[in-house]
Structure 1
Amino acid sequence: MTAIDEFAVKEITVSRQSSGEERQAALYQIYAQVLERQPYRFERKKLAKFEVEFLRNKIGVKRFLRELGHSEVYLNEFYYNSSNPKFIELCFKHFIGRAPSDAEEMRYYCDVLMRRGVKAMITALLDSEDYIKHFGCFTVPHAWTEENYPSPKTFWETEVLLRELHGQRGWIVPTMIWHDLHLDCNGGSCSLPEVSSKERPAPPAELDALHQVLSTMGAQDLEQFASTLSAAERDKLRHLLMQTVS
């Protein structure tokens, strides 16, 4: 059984014909998907207005998701302590149901985040073609079925994200970076693989992908990423990156 099978949930759709019990079940699933838990009592007070509107059929799933994503409850949990790329990866997991597909997609949403702000970036995800295609206005986001993924790599990275408790691998390095580098980032610190002179260097395409992803990170994010590595690990990373420009 894959992680996607393990974490798959029954598709929950809420329309104006849905009962109060159905809306309550949908609310529970939204929190499980987006917050990865149910809100604490003090958080629920902050979300009370939108909860009531959702349960009384005044707003739908997509509107509630936007309000939740824009809330201090969500931002405190995932945004303020994260690098931009890691936060975007988490937003994809929560609102789109998969990992970012490639460095280009990551770079696009990094640009939206830096130029227009965090709320605009979350809104852009909810207005994206992928969100509309898979969830429309009424379905609670969930992991995609295997055949819908844009590539095997995205499927693999989504599986890893679904298994990852948030913060387990820290708040700086997104999956696509430690995957390309074969990093071990459990516990929030990262270890690079041993590279000896006798070993075959990493394939150019893999190194190019790594270089593209790192280029989406701002100076502060790169500094935070570097801080998770020892001096020896930074030397290894420098050696790998040198291969992309040699």
Structure 2
Amino acid sequence: MPFLSYSFSCQNQRVESYSEKATQPNLYLSDNPYAKDVDSIIWASYRQIFSEHQILTFTRLVGPESLLRFQTITVKEFIRSLLLSNAFKNLNYDVNNNYRFVEMCVQRVLGRDLYSEREKLAWSIIIASKGLEAFVDSLLDSDEYLENFGDNVVPFQRRRIIAQRSKGETPFNLKTPRYGKEFLGNLSTGKPQYIWQGTVRKFTPQERIPKAGDPALYLGMVKDVSFTLSPIK
């Protein structure tokens, strides 16, 4: 199935003051990096792909980290290892539908938001027809990725919305990716679950509290009485 075509622009880009280029310095792997420089690149890669919510012990890839330190692989190949890792699949791919997963990957890998629903559909078709690995390869091998990040630059958010400067905008890599609204219905009961961990207290209105002489009080009195039967001698 051919890749679905879509426009490479959106209405927001026609307004000059609506967005701005990112001021974050590019982290790239030089020919002779210091150890601390490689540590910064590794941390930035985890933060960009997994977000700070998911940087846990079991999400680390010790093998690819070692290969990157010895420059056996490029930053681009390290990013690919993160995207195809079991931890990333379990925390992001398995708990979202294809549309939400595509949106998240385009934001974190290409550093921008989706242009339109048509682009979201185009990438979703790649996942559905060719699989997750082909989708990741299509993102990393795209002209857009190579022109902006190449082989040794850590992806970053290239543009930020500044329309509501007072509220600010949460960076793509800090948004919680799990559990879209449509996924809540797929939990165990088939319905959204609301868990209250506080103390449950029962409130009875004043007019419903039984007064003295009310027959409703007798049942409580009967429950309080304990009968002890002694054997007949």
Same fold (TM over 0.5): yes
Equivalent residue for 2:40? Answer: 25
Which position in structure 2 is the counterpart of 1:140?
Answer: 154
Which residue matches 2:199?
Answer: none
Pick from 25, 37, 49: which aligns with 1:10? Answer: 25
**How far apart are the structure 1 equivalents of 2:191 and 2:113?**
22
Instruction: Identify which range, 102-111 or 81-90, moves more after superposition.
Output: 102-111
Residue among 32, 40, 43 paired with 2:59: 43
Q: Deviation at 1:162?
A: 3.0
TM-score by length of 1: 0.59
Contact 2:139 2:145 in 1 (8 A): yes
**Structure 1 pair 34–164 and aligned structure 2 pair: CA distance change class (3 A):** closer
> How far apart are residue 16 of structure 1 and its match?
2.6
**Correspondent of 2:88 among 59, 74, 80:** 74
Looking at structure 2, the residues matched to 133 and 228 of structure 1 have their Cα atoms a distance apart, in angstroms, of 45
Equivalent residue runs for 1:202-221 within 5 Å: none
Tell me by how many angstroms 1:54 deviates: 0.8
Runs of 5+ unmatched residues, structure 2: 1-16, 164-168, 193-233
TM-superposition CA deviations, 1:50-94 (whole Å, max 9, x none): 111011211111000111100011111110000110000110121
Is the contact between residue 15 and residue 60 of structure 1 (CA under 8 Å) also seen in structure 2?
Answer: no
**Root-mean-square deviation over aligned CA pairs:** 3.4
Where does 1:1-246 land on structure 2 (aligned, <5 Å)?
A: 9-37=24-52, 39-44=55-60, 47-145=61-159, 159=169, 162=172, 165-167=175-177, 170-171=179-180
Q: Between the two proteins, what is the percent identity of the paired residues?
A: 22
Asked whether the equivalents of residues 13 and 138 of structure 1 are also in contact (C-alpha less than 8 Å), the reply is yes
Higher helix proportion (structure 1 or 2): 1
Q: Is the 8 A contact 1:8 1:142 kept in 2?
A: no
Matched residues, number: 167
Distance 2:129 2:93 in 1: 16
1-structure distance, mates of 2:158, 2:175: 19
The equivalent residue for 2:4 is none
Matched with 1:237 is none
Separation in structure 2 between the aligned mates of residue 131 and residue 172 of structure 1, nearest angstrom: 30
Consecutive unaligned residues of structure 1, counting only runs of 5 or more, are: 154-158, 174-187, 190-222, 230-246
One-letter amino acid of the counterpart of residue 43, structure 1: T
Displacement after TM superposition at 1:8 (Å): 5.2
Distance 1:93 1:145, change over 3 A: closer
Distance 2:173 2:40 in 1: 23
The superposition leaves residues 94-140 of structure 1 with CA deviations (integer Å, 9 ceiling, x where unpaired) of: 11111111122111111100001111111111111211111111110
Question: Is the Cα–Cα contact under 8 Å of residues 98 and 144 in structure 1 kept in the other structure?
Answer: yes
Counterpart-to-counterpart distance in 2, 1:70 and 1:163:
17
Cα distance, 1:48 vs structure 2: 1.1
